Amino acid sequence: MNPPNIVILAAGKGTRMYSDKPKVLHALAGRPLLEHVLATAVQLSPASICVVYGHGGEMVPRAMAQYKAEFALQEPQLGTGHALQQALPHLSDGSPTLVLYGDVPLIQHSTLHQMQRAGEGLVLLTVNLANPTGYGRIVRNAQGDVQRIVEEKDATPDQREIAEVNTGILLAPTEKLRTWLGGLQNDNAQREYYLTDIVAMAVAEGVPVHTVQPSHAWEVEGINSKAQLAALERTWQQVIAGRLMAQGVTLADPARLDVRGHLSCARDVEIDIGCIFEGEVRLGQDVQIGAYSVIRNSSVAAGTRIAPYSHIDGAEVGGDCRIGPFSRIRPGTKLQRDVHIGNFVEIKNSQIADGSKANHLAYVGDATVGTNVNIGAGAITANYDGANKHRTDIGDSASIGSNCVLVAPVTIGEGATIGAGSVVTKQAPAGELTVARARAVTIPGWKRPQKTKK
């Protein structure tokens, strides 16, 4: 089979979302619903992708600009059949057309691949539901062949008892699809052009109609409200948690995990409750992540321990490091091996070499820190002059005393010691003690001012 044309219908307003944002741009697992569908579509190496949008105007094409897709506007919105008509100019007759939905985000590549292998003709993705309320029913004849799809509002009481329902996802020969779409009528309860009506047309022409069912019902769950979005979020997080545990990851509580991107873990990783992983995160062997930590677009090497309530964003953390609790590691930071970053310490755009420590209440920004450096409590690099950022260089084995301010640009030599409370504005020589603070003065007899009684 030739690579398919893929059409993603994403024009719905999402009235029950009660939001000015188009429904397909609401996030599930950290990504817009539509982006989930596009990412799956790309895996099929399609001949083309066309997104049919409507509500929200250019917000949808703008948000998905990173994908090589065509965008077709549906205005006004007169049903799914009418929506697919808007995509016809972008479809190649030499390829079949696969129809997906921007508000059905979790359809899996494996299911779509199964549809491609189902046979020539029209292929429908259906599912059996214990409660099929709201879905179009699959009507079959006595031999079990699909005859048509009946929308619930147009169904008879007997038809409403049918458990097999239409998901809306289908694969069709494009040349036939053009003809069928041209023949759609809107003589139904909604006065809309139903895409589902093409099934009866295919049957009338003797075109084979095949059905495929997904491995999991959650693959075809659609989003129409914030409650449905929240429920599917938890379902998907449970799926992710199950996959991680199957790979050997220890989760303190699989129900209290959020992966909003992609998390890859080596062996013997342990993750405590309430942790959030965003973007691309890689955890090495024997890494432990403490409760309620947030890690975004970062890598953590083997043996490192992240204590609770730590935030790591856009950083590389080396092996056997100790981070937190309540540490903040910001973008551009690279920690090498056996680095200790303690409570209420913030590191930004800095490189810290093996064995160095900043254990308490410090800020290190735009700095290069050598090996075995100790940064005392309350020490900061004053890296911003109000207009530009400047760097601080701290040599190997230097010791920075408590409550020091290193005013960048400045260099602290190898083995230098900076006395507590110093404000350093020029180079501190290697191997020497530098003290830069005002002499203590006592004023005898000084009285603290008193408030005047009214």
Q: Known catalytic residues?
A: 360
Joined together, the tokens standing for residue 166 give 């239409």
Distances (CA, A) of 205 to 115, 122, 183: 21, 11, 13
Residues facing 140 on adjacent strands: 146
Q: Could you tell me how many helices (H) and strands (E) the chain has, helices first?
A: 7, 38
Task: Say how far apart CA 303 and CA 338 lie, in whole Å.
Answer: 9
Per the rule left: phi > 0, alpha: psi between -120 and 50, beta: everything else, 203 is: alpha
Residue 261 · residue 275 · CB < 8 Å = no
Task: Say how far apart CA 49 and CA 412 lie, in whole Å.
Answer: 57
DSSP state of 385: -
Residue 349 · residue 333 · CB < 8 Å = yes
The amino acid at 309: Y
Joined together, the tokens standing for residue 72 give 């077709």
Q: Buried b / exposed e across 208-222, counting CB within 10 Å, b at 16+?
A: ebebbbbeeebbbbb
Task: Say how far apart CA 391 and CA 422 lie, in whole Å.
Answer: 18
Q: Compute how many other C-beta atoms are within 10 angstroms of the C-beta atom of residue 84.
A: 27
Q: Which long-range contacts (CB under 8 A, 24 or more apart) does 13-20 make?
A: 13/54, 13/55, 13/77, 14/55, 14/103, 14/223, 14/224, 16/224, 16/225, 17/224, 17/225, 17/226, 17/229, 18/226, 20/56
Task: Say how far apart CA 203 and CA 201 lie, in whole Å.
Answer: 5
**Of 22, 6, 25, nearest to 14 (Cα)?**
22
Joined together, the tokens standing for residue 383 give 């890296």
